[in-house]
Structure 1
Amino acid sequence: MTQTNNRLFDEMARLMNDAAGVAQGVRREFDTLFRAQAERILRELDVVQREEFEAVKEMARLAREENEALKARIEALEAKGGKKAKVETAAEPPSTPPLGK
């Protein structure tokens, strides 16, 4: 009778191992199907990937910095040009003799 009990327990343990293996396989299959479905939905929604978002974010930061630098250059040139314009308008134009004299 000891032999029967051991064989019965061995058989139950083997069935439980097989069931656990099947359950893991089902889970892997479910994960794969779920991931594929989620990726399909995201593609249809035209959602931006993280890498693309980070790249565009960096490009925008660089463009802002360049824009600020160019703005500072323009302001400096305008200030420099504005001083010359004020000097030119302050000087009196040369007087011309009247035409009839």
Structure 2
Amino acid sequence: MQTQNPFLDEMAKLTTAAMGLAQFAGEEAKAAFRAQVDRIAAELDLIRREEFDALKAEIAALRAEIEALKAAKAQ
């Protein structure tokens, strides 16, 4: 909606620009935070959940194989 008042038009444009800048600043802050968290996780030698779940499944399979070998040896 446009008004006949040029002052109000300029204020609307400034407000729109400020909102865009605030949104961009928020996205930049999120990206910087994620990068910092990833760096800290790498320094602490942490693993991601997907890697943990994959290793957990592999260990379970190995345990089952060991139990099968023990059972075969016992017979």
TM over 0.5: yes
Q: Distance in 1 between matches of 2:29 and 2:72?
A: 60
Match of 1:66 in 2: 65
Q: Unaligned stretches of 5+ in structure 2?
A: none
Q: TM-score, normalised by structure 2?
A: 0.86
Identity in percent: 48
Task: For residue 54 of structure 1, report the CA deviation from its aligned partner.
Answer: 1.7
Larger Rg: 1
Q: Distance in 2 between matches of 1:70 and 1:22?
A: 64
Q: Which runs of 4+ in 1 moved over 4 A?
A: none
Q: TM-score, normalised by structure 1?
A: 0.66
Match of 2:9 in 1: 10
Match of 2:40 in 1: 41
Q: Unaligned stretches of 5+ in structure 1?
A: 77-101
Aligned residues: 73
- Alpha carbon RMSD of aligned pairs, Å? 1.5
The AA in structure 2 aligned to 1:41 is I
| Larger relative contact order (Cα-Cα within 8 Å, sequence gap ≥ 6) | 2
Task: For residue 51 of structure 1, report the CA deviation from its aligned partner.
Answer: 2.4
Q: Distance in 2 between matches of 1:11 and 1:71?
A: 81
